[in-house]
Amino acid sequence: MNTLLLDSEDVDEYAALGDVIDAVEQAFAAFERGDTQMPAKSYIDLPRYNGDFRSMPAYLDTGDWDAAGLKWVNVHPDNPADHDLPTVLGTMIYSDPETAFPLAIMDGTTLTMKRTGAAAAVATDHLAVEDASSLGIVGAGVQSYTQLRAISEVRSIEEVVIADQDEDRVRRFVETFEDEFDVRAGSISEAGHCDILSTVTPVESPIVGLADVGEDTHINAIGADAAGKHELSDDLLLDATIVIDDHEQCTHSGEINVPYGEGTLTDDDIHAEIGEVVVGAKEGRTDGTGITVFDSTGLAIQDVAAAHVVYDRASDAGKGLSFDLVGAGDAAQ
């Protein structure tokens, strides 16, 4: 038995979004049923390098399959300017739960983008209006591309409005998708008045207010991933039906972390965790729901679920670099 080494191109090819969305939805359901183990994300702070490491381990059992893995990821803001490297570099170790054998080592950066888009798609499927056909995106970075790809798997998106202060980013986004969608640049309010809105910015002062969205808009709040980050105004959050991925993560580092810490939002303002909606324990959208917000911080079970898809599909295709990482061949002799 060998370990598969899968680079970013392999992950991009074999993380088929339809399958990843299904796997992430199953992971949310397993989380709600209590069929997962997911220790809190741990940090190693490296102030001398203006960076940190984060470890994200998880195990999940969907009933049809189980899987385990660890994502080792960093945030080093000086990397692009000082070292010509990305700010974030992720590595995923995907293991067989029965034997602990390392089935694969794969790029975790592309995997993160795929599973984040998939999580937004799961939430969109349960919380957006059924006939949603327009998508607004605030922030034209790399995650915006996966948001569009993933969400268009669950809704028939025709119109796309992209808002960003960086005109070059907007131009590249429009050029990428202009042959597939009616895509154009627009203001935050124009993006927010689409049927679905995804916000993917790192801001710490809200940039989307209640007046900037439609009365039935579903919002995927993706950008907040650390304490102090906050894309949506308090009045918007107070008016919306809020669904979160995990209470501990969202109240400490998700979209709701600032107003929750200040007492502006309380547990009474949180409608459900997404797993509760997936399994039917709490309602998704109903006729009178209005604005909905999905606070997505990103869970380790999502990474493991996405890695499960990548490994299975790459193995079936005979792709990836196969090598004897742990000397299993020698041990068997």
Which entry of 71, 114, 229, 319 is annotated as an active-site residue?
A: 71
Q: Nearest-5° angle of CA 232, CA 38, CA 26?
A: 75
Name the residue among 293, 170, 317 with its Cα closest to residue 233: 293
Q: Are residues 218 and 239 in contact, defined by beta-carbon separation less than 8 angstroms?
A: no
In this prediction, residue 333 carries a pLDDT of 45
Name the residue among 3, 77, 69 with its Cα closest to residue 36: 69
pLDDT in tens, 176-211: 999 999 999 999 999 999 999 999 999 999 999 999
Name the residue among 172, 182, 171, 123 with its Cα closest to residue 147: 123
What is the rounded distance in angstroms from the CA atom of residue 5 to the CA atom of residue 82? 28
Q: Are residues 67 and 59 in contact, defined by beta-carbon separation less than 8 angstroms?
A: yes
Question: End-to-end distance of the chain based on CA atoms, in angstroms?
Answer: 12
Distances 99 to 38, 95, 106, 319 between C-alpha atoms, Å: 19, 8, 19, 23
* Cβ-proximal residues to 13 (8 Å cutoff; 6+ apart), any chain: 319
In this prediction, residue 212 carries a pLDDT of 98
What is the rounded distance in angstroms from the CA atom of residue 290 to the CA atom of residue 214? 9
In this prediction, residue 329 carries a pLDDT of 64
What is the rounded distance in angstroms from the CA atom of residue 111 to the CA atom of residue 12? 8
Helix (H, G, I), strand (E, B) or coil at 9: helix
Instruction: List, for the chain, all residue ranges whose pLDDT scores fall below the cut of 70.
Output: 329-333
Task: Report strand pairing: 159-163 vs 66-75.
Answer: unpaired
Q: How would you label 282-321 residue by residue, b for 16+ Cβ within 10 Å and e otherwise?
A: bebbeeebebbbbbbbbbbbbbbbbbbbbbbbbbeeeebe
Q: Nearest-5° angle of CA 250, CA 227, CA 260?
A: 55
DSSP state of 263: T
In this prediction, residue 137 carries a pLDDT of 98
Q: Please, where are the H alpha helices in 34-141?
A: 79-83, 108-127
Is 114 known to be catalytic?
Answer: no
Q: Are residues 15 and 109 in contact, defined by beta-carbon separation less than 8 angstroms?
A: no
In this prediction, residue 327 carries a pLDDT of 84
In this prediction, residue 225 carries a pLDDT of 84
Name the residue among 139, 136, 109 with its Cα closest to residue 8: 109
